[in-house]
Structure 1
Amino acid sequence: MSTIAANLQAVEATIAAATEAAGRPRSTVQLLAVSKTFPTEAVLEAIAAGQRAFGENYLQEGVEKIAAVARAQPDLSLEWHFIGPIQSNKTKPIATHFDWVHTVERIKIAQRLSEQRPPERGPLNICLQVNISGEVTKSGATAAELPELARQVAALPNLRLRGLMAIPEPQSDPALQRAAFATLRRLGESLRADGLMVDTLSMGMSGDMGAAILEGATIVRVGSAIFGAREYH
């Protein structure tokens, strides 16, 4: 068994234990393997071990990797999620190549993604990024901005508003981790109470996915626990 396959098994065990502790079916949490900075070969190893959903932060690298994996596995149905910051002049390749975008925080970006989504690809799944910790260096809409932004995005053609994403301030205390994730969960519940059909909470990474799942995460974004230490660009 490869190292990546073994790591995926360990992550799967963590997710299974957390969903059991939360009283939730395992099927309610999707594992998103964050493959940014790792080569196509690492993605192919993860695919061989059964992984089917991958997250990329860097646009050019992600587009090249999507193409390379498609050449190597032309008959395989994979899901590609863009989880990095979005520049307005880079929306077209995101809209063209990805299945999900987790980092929409402005209506201008959503409008461009909607206009540039190829119709034959079907609606682009959208998560709105929320700055739940109030960090000045962190991207994301504020809780106050969220309801109007969500209504505007939900009304756009070629997009499907799925839910919310957050990267809270790192905490080692599980109780503090859970408190941050509970904030995002409540924001999602508020959107549903307003009539928006959202079903996704993208929250939790290698160090805090257990706390995120206990608070309702439906997608956990895991990189280093699967692929190892990351080499940054």
Structure 2
Amino acid sequence: MSTLSKQLTTVLSQIEQAASAAHRDKHEIKLLAVSKTKPVAQIKAAYAAGQRLFGENYVQEGIEKIQALSQDADIVEPIEWHFIGPLQSNKTKPVAEHFNWVQSIDRLKIAQRLNDQRPEHLAPLNICLQVNISGEASKSGTTLSQVIELASQVSALPRLKLRGIMAIPQATDDENILNDSFQQLHRLYLQLQQTYPDIDTLSMGMSGDMIPAIANGSSMVRVGTAIFGARDYSA
């Protein structure tokens, strides 16, 4: 078993243990392998180990990987590609054409462009609204007070499918602050579910905080470092 395969197995085991501790079914929680800055060879290794969901932060890098792997004979089952980074309006078209999900919608303008640019032959683009739960100026995302209105606007766009919310809470060692953020997000998620029946995704928790995220209701954890190793900042 390769090192990457072992690391992937370890993460899946940690998810299972966290789900059990929270009295949840492990199948309720999806693992999104965050492959930004990582080469196609590592994505293929994770794929060979059973991983099918991958997240990318950078448009051009992500498109190149999608195109390369779409022509790879070893990829026999489809990969589900999630765009999880900030998205500028001049880069929405390739994302609309190639990705299955966009998790980082924080304003109507970007959602409208993705809707208008989503090819008719493809299924509607799955959307998560990004919530800036900690209110940090350095982070993208809409506010808690604005997300209800944005959900209403996005749900009306025919080429998009509103699936849930995503957030990156404040990086902190204070478990009370972290749990409070996760609990606020879970309450918002449940509130949105009452209005939008297709909502089934609460994307929160990463390598360092996925255990408390799962304890507080996360249905998708986004893990990069624990699977692929440290990020290559020179890429």
| Range of TM-score over shorter length | over 0.9
TM-score (norm 2): 0.96
Report the AA paired with residue 189 of structure 1.
L
Match of 2:176 in 1: 175
Secondary structure at the aligned position of 1:212 is classed as: helix
Match of 1:218 in 2: 219
Match of 1:227 in 2: 228
Secondary structure at the aligned position of 1:121 is classed as: coil
Identity of aligned residues (%): 56
Match of 1:49 in 2: 49
Alpha-carbon offset, residue 186 of structure 1: 1.0
Match of 1:10 in 2: 10
Match of 2:204 in 1: 203
Q: Count how many residue pairs are aligned between Structure 1 and Structure 2.
A: 232
Match of 1:39 in 2: 39
Match of 1:108 in 2: 109
**Following the alignment from structure 1 to structure 2, what is the Cα–Cα distance between the partners of residues 174 and 48?**
36
Alpha-carbon offset, residue 169 of structure 1: 0.6
**Following the alignment from structure 1 to structure 2, what is the Cα–Cα distance between the partners of residues 174 and 45?**
34
**Following the alignment from structure 2 to structure 1, what is the Cα–Cα distance between the partners of residues 34 and 164?**
19
Alpha-carbon offset, residue 172 of structure 1: 1.8
Unaligned runs of 5+ in 1: none
TM-score (norm 1): 0.97
**Following the alignment from structure 2 to structure 1, what is the Cα–Cα distance between the partners of residues 80 and 192?**
26
Residues 86-143 of structure 1 deviation map (CA, whole Å, 9 limit, x = unaligned): 0001101001100010000000100110111112111110000000001111110001
Deviating 4+ runs (over 3 angstroms) = none
Report the AA paired with residue 47 of structure 2.
I
Alpha-carbon offset, residue 187 of structure 1: 1.1
**Following the alignment from structure 1 to structure 2, what is the Cα–Cα distance between the partners of residues 220 and 174?**
18
Unaligned runs of 5+ in 2: none
**Following the alignment from structure 1 to structure 2, what is the Cα–Cα distance between the partners of residues 19 and 144?**
30
Match of 1:99 in 2: 100
**Following the alignment from structure 1 to structure 2, what is the Cα–Cα distance between the partners of residues 31 and 219?**
6
